A and B are shown apart, each in its own frame.
Chain A
Amino acid sequence: MGQLSINNTLFTIVTKRGMLILKNEQYDASEEVILDYVKRHLGAVIGDPELLSTEITMETKFSSDLELESIEFVALASRLRTEFGDCVNFVEFLATKNVDDVVSLNVGDVVRYVSTCLQREKSMQGAMAHD
Chain B
Amino acid sequence: MIEMLASGVGLHVQRLVPPPGVRPSGKTVVLLHGLIIDDLSSYYFTLANPLSAAGHDVIMYDLRGHGHSDRPPTGYSIEDSVTDLDELLTALSVEHPVHLVGNSYGGAIAMEMALKHPHRVADITLIEGLYADEGFGEEMAETLGILTKCVYEEKWRTWIAERGRKTVKMAHRGVSLIENTSIQQDLLTTIPHPSSTFQALQVPVLAIYGGESEILYRARKLESMVRNARLIILPGLDHRVLLNAGPYLCQVLLWWLKGRHGEPPLWIPPAIAFEPAPLSRALFPEM
Contacts and interface: CB of A to CB of B under 8 A. Distances in A.
Given A92-B19, A99-B246, A70 B49 contact: no
A81 B16 CA distance: 13
A75 B12 CA distance: 10
A25 interface: no
Interface in A9-58: 48, 51
Given A51-B165, A99-B45, A99-B46, A71 B68 contact: yes
Most buried by A among B45, B53, B169: B45
Interface in B235-252: 243, 246-247
Interface in A70-93: 70-71, 73-75, 78-79, 81-82, 91-92
Nearest to B169: A69
Interface string B152-180: 00000000000011100110000000000
Interface in B40-67: 40-42, 44-46, 48-50, 52-53, 62, 67
A109 interface: no
A79 B52 CA distance: 21
Contacts of A95: 49-50, 53
A94 interface: yes
A73 B165 contact: no
Contacts of B48: 91
A4 interface: no
Contacts of B247: 98
A71 B165 contact: no
Contacts of B53: 95
B14 interface: yes
B1 interface: yes
B44 A70 contact: yes
B39 interface: yes
Interface residues of A, number: 22
Interface string B3-25: 00000000000101001000000
Contact of B166 (A69, A74, A99): A69
Interface residues of B, number: 27
A91 B42 CA distance: 14
Contacts of A69: 41, 166, 169-170
Given A51-B165, A75-B68, A95-B53, A70 B1 contact: no
A67 B40 contact: no
A91 B41 contact: no
Contact of B40 (A68, A71, A99): A71
A95 B250 CA distance: 13
Interface in B64-107: 67-68
Nearest to B1: A78
A48 B170 CA distance: 14
B45 A94 contact: yes
Given A92-B19, A94-B49, A95-B49, A71 B62 contact: yes
A91 B49 contact: yes
A67 B166 contact: yes
B52 to A, nearest CB: 7
Nearest to B244: A99
Contact of B14 (A51, A70, A74, A102): A74
A99 B247 CA distance: 11
Given A68-B166, A73-B41, A74-B41, A91 B68 contact: no
Which 7 residue pairs are nearest across A and B when measured between Cβ atoms?
A: A70-B41, A78-B1, A67-B165, A67-B166, A71-B41, A71-B39, A71-B67
13 contacts: A48-B165, A51-B165, A63-B166, A67-B165, A70-B39, A70-B45, A71-B67, A71-B68, A74-B1, A92-B19, A94-B44, A99-B45, A99-B243
Interface of A: 48, 51, 63, 67-71, 73-75, 78-79, 81-82, 91-92, 94-95, 98-99, 102
